[in-house]
Amino acid sequence: MRTRTCSRTRTPFAVALAAVLLAATACGEDSKPDPMRDKQWALDALKLPEAWDKAKGDDTVIAVVDTGIDLDHPDLKGRLVAGHDFVDGDDEPKDMNGHGTHVSGIAVAHTDNGTGIAGGAPGAKIMPVRVLGAGGSGDNADITKGIVWAADHGADVINLSLGESGLMARLLKGGTLNDAITHAHDKGAVVVAAAGNEGTALRPYKVGTPVLVVGASDRDGKPADFSNFGAQQAVSAPGVGILSTLPTYKTRETLKNDSGYGELDGTSMAAPYVSAVAALLHQQDRTPDQIMTAIRSTAKNPDKLAKLGLGIVDAKAATASAKE
């Protein structure tokens, strides 16, 4: 059975936007700490900058189990630890799709470096684990191996921006991914997973599996129309119009835009924001269970919208909360 990424390609407008932003940088706006920061509405929606006063994710490794990463991207280089490529069977997890690079930038892009964007956990590192090919799909065996490998090689947070729906969801309820996630939890890692983009109600994981499922919200704090919902104790985070890093070479996501930045929609984009918050909490010496409890208990859902789950994550409140 094959699994796909959980992102949605943006319209040509997004490509044009990235080109404009890149041009602005070249014309003198690179004096700003992060020239594209004002386009990152999600950081403020999650109150991440306010949380950085307490923690930035120092000494934390976020494994992105995905399509790999642009290993030489200027906003990611120096933020990486050793990873693995289960698609090609080597230790060079180069991203030939673009999805994994976008997810990684959301989580840990260099902050205050005069280039591009700001990452959600500016002190954390990325462990790139490639389990999906150039087309954005992969099989359960590689994904399972990737989760276990990341946990066994020191990942503190594991991000799964993967697609689970239909038959896949039914398989997952009793399948090997649940065991891999439990293994990662028992090794001390928090597993954060995208809810999927079919706009349907489903429970992709077996009840009791220690995974933090994330749906997508929009700029107005409402559920994104494409976001799946209904997973046990799920939370939400911004997943519409998310600007992040993209490969600086030609891939599926960069056929018309090799500027190194662009926008995507999806629960894939929401999940790494929550992984970033988890990294901040890890720096505060919290256990995986304490991290999940802090994120869930401080999420905000004032209008009690069922499709937001427990609510939109609040990084400031989570980092200020007591350990439980």
Q: Catalytic residue positions?
A: 66, 99, 268
State both tokens at 205. Answer: 């994981």
- Is residue 21 classed as helix, strand or coil in its secondary structure? helix
- Is residue 130 classed as helix, strand or coil in its secondary structure? strand
Contact present, 298 and 318 (Cβ < 8 Å):
yes
CB atoms within 10 A of CB 208: 9
Q: Length of the chain, please?
A: 324
The per-type count for the chain, helices as H runs and strands as E runs, is 10, 12
Place of tokens 């994104």: 224
C-alpha span between 262 and 21 (Å, rounded)? 9
CB atoms within 10 A of CB 323: 12
Contact present, 107 and 279 (Cβ < 8 Å):
yes
Burial class (CB in 10 A: 0-12, 13-18, 19+), 74: middle
**What region does 289 belong to: left with phi over 0, alpha with psi -120 to 50, or beta?**
alpha
Distance of CA 167 to the CA centre of its chain: 24
Contact present, 264 and 242 (Cβ < 8 Å):
yes
